[in-house]
Amino acid sequence: MTTARLRITHAGPHVSYQDGGRPGLMRFGVPASGPMDRTAHAAANLSVGNAADATAIEVSPAGLAVECVGEAVTFAVAGGGFLMDHAGSRSAVWEARTLCAGETLRIMPGHWGSWTYLALAGRVRAKEWLGHTATLATSGFGGGLLATGQEIVVEERRVDPARERSFPCPVFARPTSHARVVIGPQEHRLEPDALSALLDGVHALSDSYDRMGVRLRGPALAIREALSIPSEPIVAGSIQVAGDGVATILLRDHQTTGGYPKIATVLAADLDRIVQLRPRARIAFKAVTPARAVEIARQAAGARSMWLDRLARHP
Amino acid sequence: MVTLRLAPVAEHALLVEFGDTIHDATSERIAALDRALAAAPPAGLREVVPGMVNLLVDFDPLVTDHAAIEAAVRDCLGRPAPASAAGTRREVEVCYDPDLGTDLSAVAGQTGLSVDEVIAAHLGGDYRVRMYGFTPGYAYMSGTPAAIRLPRKPAAVRGVPAGSVIIAGPQCIVTTLLMPTGWWVLGRSPTRILTGDEDRPFLFDVGDPVGMRRIGRDEFERKARRAVAA
């Protein structure tokens, strides 16, 4: 078994190690973290023969550049409309190739998308916290952020030319500006017209966007009651309204409880898609019943697993 | 008797609300439902997150749905809950030197007590871990004595170090990360809530009783150094 080493010649902010996440610990104040776009992360991993939840590198629009300083390794980049430059050859991501000794790989933003994933065939070495390498950005716990000058180490690295191919982003993983929500759980703590402002108003993502959440711009959502609500559990996708009437969609590294009312919650299936929107992109919210939301989750999971299974089986 | 409210959360959770106000009786009901669900988890249950006045039940929507989880919750509430474990009494060591307990004199000023009386009141509290929330290891304890209960400060103060012992209302927390807080800082503790021990990563279980023990500066410095090295 050999080890591949990639020297990091550039790592922008918000580039982190992420495995599939550490679910089940919210009762200890720990959100699941893990990839912002779980479908793209799983696709990158499966396309090179890794487990879907293996440790990969989440790359922000700030980009990542590496140089292979040792053994060759097969890699894939998937997520958003990012671009890559592999040893001088530029292409879209959603592609697997092999990085040979001395070659460089540069990942940079393209026409759309906020997150892309670099998977490396083998086992990416990263610090574990509570059994997972997923990085919790607020604390740096887990694998952590990547920094220029460090090395990415891939143990038991593999080279698998048969897996080198492109696998275009499936329609169901493209970003959507129509997020489906279930109303509540604290819609009763807002003025009645707040719901219509959420559902009928035009909203946009603000620049205040990171792994914890994204603040929205749009009509203010008026809160009815004083802000002394005892803290309540939060999930990824909770739309929380602060005292100033500004809504925030909480994302993977969300705080686990909060005292601001949550007017609605984005379906998990849509969350992987709206995180690929960029600041200033418009977003609209459509309410569905809880029963319909479960149907949507089942349909989405079916399509997703069929596509991912096919990707994993190749070649 | 508090009214029960069950609210769906997206396609994968149900929030069970026991009322609006923090109360020991409410905490006991939440703890009882938490134990009942742990003893007989319904199919598809992923995790249960206790809050101050509510409890989140997260489930796999590919296996179950809101209605089935609601039925399981109502079933649990209709049966006597498994007996409560008494919890393990935990000790938090606190150094109250004024450069660590930066709000001691402000709390004294607001409550009309002397600094020594504030410290004595804090040491005399009967604390119990009610929930973890916000960020890893942030254990919300009830039991801060009435004599030193204050509302939060109007604005948060930045850069409050990890290990700070902070109070607001009836609550007390030992912080685990450097962060802003609007709570009142009474002292600093070398006791690690995030233990760094993979077998027991969090010092407290929800429901554990907690006592505060005063330590001097030398002991604090020695233990704080050891905690960092661990």
Q: pLDDT at residue B77 above 90?
A: yes
Of A139, A258, A301, Cβ closest to residue B62: A301
Task: Find all residues with CB under 8 Å of A129, minimum gap 6, and list them.
Answer: A22, A136, A141, A142
Q: Looking at residue A1, what is its pLDDT?
A: 64
CATH number at residue B132: 2.40.100.10
Q: Do the strands A282-287 and A178-183 form a parallel or antiparallel pair, or are they unpaired?
A: parallel
- Rounded CA-CA distance B200/B225 in Å is 21
For residues A139 and A215, membership in a common domain is answered with: no
Minimum mean pLDDT range among A272-286, B105-119, B193-207: B193-207
- Which residues form the domain of B52? 5-78
Let me know if residue A309 belongs to a domain: no
Q: Looking at residue B21, what is its pLDDT?
A: 81
Q: pLDDT at residue B101 above 90?
A: yes
Q: Is the peptide bond before A185 cis (omega within 30 degrees of 0)?
A: yes
Contact status, residue A10 vs residue A65, Cβ threshold 8 Å: yes
For residues A118 and A201, membership in a common domain is answered with: no
Q: Looking at residue B27, what is its pLDDT?
A: 87
| pLDDT over 90 percentage in chain B | 73
Find the closest chain B residue to A141 by CA distance: B136
Q: Do the strands A83-86 and B127-132 form a parallel or antiparallel pair, or are they unpaired?
A: unpaired
Q: Which residues in B lie closer than 8 A to residue A32 (C-beta atoms)?
A: none
Q: Is B51 in contact with A233 (Cβ distance < 8 A)?
A: yes
DSSP codes joined into one string, A94-140: SEEEEEPTT-EEEEE--SS-S-EEEEESSEE----BTTB---BTTTT
For residues A48 and A191, membership in a common domain is answered with: no
- A100-138 pLDDT, tens per residue? 999 999 999 999 999 999 999 999 999 999 999 999 998
The radius of gyration computed from the CA coordinates of chain B, to the nearest angstrom, equals 19
For residues B32 and B136, membership in a common domain is answered with: no
For residues A146 and A33, membership in a common domain is answered with: yes
Contact status, residue B56 vs residue B175, Cβ threshold 8 Å: no
On whether any CB of chain A is under 8 Å from the CB of B37, the answer is: no
Q: Is the peptide bond before A279 cis (omega within 30 degrees of 0)?
A: no
For residues B69 and B105, membership in a common domain is answered with: no
Nearest chain B Cα distance for residue A278, angstroms: 23
- Which residues form the domain of A297? 178-304
Question: Which of these three, B54, B78, B102, is where a domain ends?
Answer: B78
Nearest chain B Cα distance for residue A261, angstroms: 12
Q: Which residues in A lie closer than 8 A to residue B152 (C-beta atoms)?
A: none
Q: Which residues in A lie closer than 8 A to residue B131 (C-beta atoms)?
A: 27, 231, 257
Place of tokens 């996440």: A21
CATH number at residue B16: 3.30.1360.40
For residues A300 and A192, membership in a common domain is answered with: yes
CATH number at residue A188: 2.40.100.10
Element (H, E) at A216: strand A213-217
Q: Is A230 in contact with B131 (Cβ distance < 8 A)?
A: no
- Rounded CA-CA distance A16/A146 in Å is 6
For residues A192 and A102, membership in a common domain is answered with: no
Contact status, residue A247 vs residue A215, Cβ threshold 8 Å: yes
Percent helix, strand, coil in chain B, to 5, is 25, 30, 45
Question: Which of these three, A136, A169, A202, is where a domain ends?
Answer: A169
Q: Report chain A (315 residues): mean pLDDT per 10 consecutive residues.
A: 94 97 96 98 98 98 96 98 97 97 97 97 97 94 97 97 96 95 92 93 96 95 72 93 90 91 95 97 97 98 96 85
- Structural domain count of chain A: 2
Q: pLDDT at residue B228 above 70?
A: no
Burial class (CB in 10 A: 0-12, 13-18, 19+), A295: middle
- B158-194 pLDDT, tens per residue? 899 999 999 998 899 999 999 888 899 999 999 999 9
Q: Retrieve residue A274's tokens.
A: 């709206």
- Structural domain count of chain B: 2
For residues A49 and A155, membership in a common domain is answered with: yes
Question: Which of these three, A148, A169, A190, is where a domain ends?
Answer: A169
For residues B57 and B158, membership in a common domain is answered with: no
Q: Is B202 in contact with A28 (Cβ distance < 8 A)?
A: yes
Let me know if residue A160 belongs to a domain: yes
Place of tokens 């009474």: B186
- Provide ipTM, 2 decimals: 0.95
Q: Is A26 in contact with B56 (Cβ distance < 8 A)?
A: yes
Q: Is A230 in contact with B135 (Cβ distance < 8 A)?
A: no
Q: Is A27 in contact with B50 (Cβ distance < 8 A)?
A: yes
The radius of gyration computed from the CA coordinates of chain A, to the nearest angstrom, equals 20
For residues B74 and B163, membership in a common domain is answered with: no
Let me know if residue B34 belongs to a domain: yes
A and B: number of Cβ contacts within 8 A: 136
- Rounded CA-CA distance A214/A277 in Å is 11
Find the closest chain B residue to A292 by CA distance: B11
Task: Find all residues with CB under 8 Å of A257, minimum gap 6, and list them.
Answer: A29, A231, A232, A233, A234, B51, B131, B133, B134
Q: Where does the pLDDT of residue B85 fall: very low under 50, low under 70, confident under 90, or very high at 90 and above?
A: confident
For residues A50 and A144, membership in a common domain is answered with: yes
Of A30, A268, A294, Cβ closest to residue B136: A30
Q: Is B46 in contact with A24 (Cβ distance < 8 A)?
A: yes
Task: Find all residues with CB under 8 Å of B129, minimum gap 6, and list them.
Answer: B87, B90, B139, B140, B141, B204, B205, B206, B207, B208, B210
Strands in A49-108 per DSSP E: 56-59, 64-68, 73-78, 83-86, 89-92, 95-99, 104-108
Q: Looking at residue A181, what is its pLDDT?
A: 98
Q: Which residues of A touch B (CB under 8 A)?
A: 23-30, 130-131, 136, 138-139, 141, 181-182, 184-186, 229-233, 235, 237-238, 255-258, 262, 265-269, 290-291, 293-294, 296-298, 301
Let me know if residue A310 belongs to a domain: no
Half-sphere exposure of A231 (CA within 13 A, CB side): 22
For residues A105 and A131, membership in a common domain is answered with: yes
Q: pLDDT at residue B57 above 60?
A: yes
Let me know if residue B166 belongs to a domain: yes
Put the strands of the sheet holding B13-17 in their side by side order.
B5-9, B13-17, B54-59, B45-50
Burial A10-21 (b: 16+ CB within 10 A, else e): bbbebbbbbbbb
* B123 CA to centre of own chain: 17
Q: Retrieve residue B140's tokens.
A: 């919300």
The size of chain A, in residues, is 315
For residues B105 and B217, membership in a common domain is answered with: yes
Find the closest chain A residue to B203 by CA distance: A28
- Rounded CA-CA distance B30/B50 in Å is 7
Contact status, residue A76 vs residue A122, Cβ threshold 8 Å: no
Alpha-helical (H) ranges within B12-114 are 24-39, 66-78, 104-111
Question: Which of these three, A169, A190, A209, is where a domain ends?
Answer: A169
Q: Within 10 A of B156 (CB to CB), how many other CB atoms are there?
A: 12
Q: Within 10 A of A104 (CB to CB), how many other CB atoms are there?
A: 16
Let me know if residue B155 belongs to a domain: yes
On whether any CB of chain A is under 8 Å from the CB of B21, the answer is: yes
For residues A21 and A131, membership in a common domain is answered with: yes
Q: pLDDT at residue B131 above 80?
A: yes
Q: Retrieve residue A300's tokens.
A: 């989405």
For residues A106 and A207, membership in a common domain is answered with: no
Of B10, B15, B49, Cβ closest to residue A293: B10
Q: Which residues in B lie closer than 8 A to residue A291 (C-beta atoms)?
A: 65-67
For residues A182 and A127, membership in a common domain is answered with: no
Contact status, residue A87 vs residue A72, Cβ threshold 8 Å: no
Q: Within 10 A of B166 (CB to CB), how many other CB atoms are there?
A: 20
- Rounded CA-CA distance B10/B47 in Å is 15
- Which residues does residue A140 pair with via DSSP β-bridges, in sequence order? none
Q: Looking at residue A110, what is its pLDDT?
A: 96
Q: Looking at residue A228, what is its pLDDT?
A: 58
